[in-house]
Amino acid sequence: MTIGFRFKARAQRAAGVIVGLIGALLTPTLWASTSQPTLDQTLANGLRVLVYENRRAPTALHMVWVKAGSIDESSGATGLAHVLEHMMFKGTKTLAPGEFSRRIAALGGRENAFTAKDYTGYFQQVHRDSLREVMRLEAQRQRFLKIDEAEFKKEIQVVMEERRLRTDDNPSSLAHEMLVSQAFQASPVRNPIIGWMNDLENLTIHDVRQWYSTWYAPNNLILVVAGDVKAQEVLAWAKEFYGSMKARPLPTRKPQSEPEQNGVRRVALKAPAQNAFLMLAYKAPTLRESLGPLGVTHAASRDLVALDVLSTLLDDPGTGRLTKRLVQQERSAISVGAGSEGISRGPGLFYIDVTASPGVTLPSLEAKVKQEIARIAKDGVDEQELTRVKRQAKASQVFRQDSAFSLAMEAARLLLAGRTLADSDAWLTVLEDIRSDDLKRVAARYFIDDQLTALEFEPLPLDGSAKRGKAPSAFGASTGTRH
């Protein structure tokens, strides 16, 4: 799942994809300011180690992040990052298939993994006294994974079934996949994280082994530990278990820049479901290395933050402009959603999704959405609306700082995107300075047909085997794995 700064709860249902605890994990926001870690050190082999000490509970969170996701895959081999994530649970030189998870469970812990456009992540949460053993176990599979032919043949079938259930049989996921693949032409962000079915059918064990040997190198990893731990002790264990890993040259990541879009792109989709829905995707900036430093005088920074503010103004459940007009007043829509993708190494989109009420046409809903955005572009917003959004941001910051998951995930995602940890506080500083003119500017600049890809979903009759259609959630997604 590509995840935005202000990623909403409903985005957890996007494109097939987040399961159980992962759903809770993948919802951090840059409005939850990332405090500086207790320790931030890079080992001789290139492994970066972050430690956040927190004495509130006797637990420890251990996360390993690999800077390799679906954006790094090549044509004909999509889904590789996610398949390898599955294989990471299928044994090492010293652990039998499934034994990793059984040992974590025996320690009273919980664990899982997730794949996104930009990265693959693995985590365990255990009692603080079990942290050393968890680090030892994770280091084993990061170094000595056994990719067995028989296990691969079984697991690729699992992944294909996952795709059938969470994408092919899910109208909102299928629509999101089609929308993104039409919005981008050259960038690999157009490919689904879980992979195209034909690619999955033709992946080989050689492909998976090659992916592991290419990207799972210490100089391509970030280790984050948070909780009731001692930073220097964690550093010593990191050196003990990860320090002997050998750094390797990494492939040159080609930019694969997206050509300029010169006209609206429209697609239509039909599938068994209950409701018609509309998805609009506008090209929008992401927080990546090329954006430059965040600051109140930096135009690109202001655009990025203003777009995030705009999404709240459009779809806040109580006061959002689209919510009030379409859902509460006119009752022409069952639900609305809006949001941008936030931190990413690749190009991004600003999504607006609207589920139509019975008898309401999708072109009429699109016209109303554009009317509301045009009003913002012309008149801006009043100070009361801006104040409300800023207060929500500050409240979110306080709550998120209580979460080790949020702190660890945000820190890793910033670093993986070529950013710095200071971006969290810089984001808040820019937010405080956002004015009505900023919202007018971004509404006029980004919400134009030359940057729009629109999808209309027409529901077909449900039969006994069809799954119920869900209101769409048009936000990029990560693929979580429950083992």
Distances (CA, A) of 103 to 64, 99, 108, 118, 138: 18, 6, 9, 29, 11
Q: For residue 386, what are its two tokens?
A: 């801006």
Distance of CA 206 to the CA centre of its chain: 28
CA distance 378 to 381: 9
As given in the structure block, the two tokens for residue 54 are 């927190």
The phi, psi pair for 393, rounded to 5°, reads -65, -45
| Phi/psi of residue 259, nearest 5 degrees | -65, 155
**CB neighbourhood size of 260 (10 A):** 8
Q: Rounded to whole angstroms, how far apart are CA atoms 268 and 276?
A: 11
- Interatomic CA distance for residues 66 and 78, integer angstroms: 17
Task: List, in order, residues 6 or more apart from 423 with CB less than 8 Å away.
Answer: 30, 287, 294, 414
**Interatomic CA distance for residues 398 and 60, integer angstroms:** 21
Tokens read off for 26: 């993948």
Q: Which of 53, 73, 85, 385 is catalytic?
A: 85
Distance, CA of 479 to CA of 483 (rounded, Å): 13
Q: Which amino acid does the sequence have at 102? A: R
Q: Is 85 a catalytic residue?
A: yes
CA distance 349 to 452: 9
The residue type of 124 is Q
115: Cα separation from own chain's centroid: 9
Among all residues, which ones are annotated catalytic?
A: 85
